[in-house]
Amino acid sequence: MDVKIEPTWRERLQPEFDKPYFKSLTDFVREEYSSVTVYPPGRLIFNAFNLCPFDQVKVVIIGQDPYHEPGQAHGLCFSVNEGVAFPPSLRNIFKEISDDLGRPAPVSGDLSRWARQGVLLLNATLTVRAGQAGSHQGKGWEEFTDAVIRQLNEGRDGLVFILWGGYAKRKGAIIDRSRHLVLSSAHPSPLSAYNGFFGNHHFSKTNGWLVSHGETPIDW
């Protein structure tokens, strides 16, 4: 199957695109987009990959579902379009950045600036029905994004994987801790942020690791 995705990712992921589950997933997603409102816009389903080629990835942040309210989702986990109010989890992420790095919190919720620096903002499920959280789970996206994590785990060295919450921790269980840095904590959701997300120092720890491995730190 010819999937419109950044070329270095297409080369790595073509075996997935040729599997029966991906054909079924594609059929399901096309039918959804043709019959109901689905986020993100179709052209942005693979936005995380298009902004961050395989060989430029330094950091991977794993989310779960795209935002399901109008105007929010644009293919990057935790990120919203410019001018959109910050969802609670993103607000807490920015608070931790400010506290961790001792600087003002970011003013834009569009995290494309992170992606262009090598942060893969990967949701486990890449599409969702409007207003229906989790509605596209169990259709094949999780198998696909597991393959993405496998490719990075096996094909790269010295990456930082950031796992917030139980779901991300389970999804990241396959990561080789002897070759990559894995940072885990509670989720930034208001329900759990005070149970270990705040004060995790993941942003400074990430940059410390990158500098120690000869990489440019992320301007969070």
The pLDDT assigned to 13 comes to 98
What CA–CA distance (Å, rounded) separates 139 from 125?
A: 9
pLDDT tens-digit series, residues 56-80: 999 999 999 999 999 999 999 999 9
β-sheet bridge partners, residue 100: none
pLDDT tens-digit series, residues 142-183: 999 999 999 999 999 999 999 999 999 999 999 999 999 999
The pLDDT assigned to 186 comes to 98
Catalytic residue among 18, 27, 55, 65, which?
65
The pLDDT assigned to 63 comes to 97
Do residues 84 and 109 make contact, with C-beta atoms less than 8 angstroms apart? yes
The verdict on whether 219 is a catalytic residue reads: no
Mean pLDDT, the chain, whole residue set: 97
Q: Once rounded to an integer, what is the mean pLDDT over residues 125-142?
A: 97
Q: Once rounded to an integer, what is the mean pLDDT over residues 135-143?
A: 98
Q: Sorting pLDDT into bands at 50, 70 and 90, what band is 1?
A: confident
pTM: 0.97
pLDDT tens-digit series, residues 17-54: 999 999 999 999 999 999 999 999 999 999 999 999 99
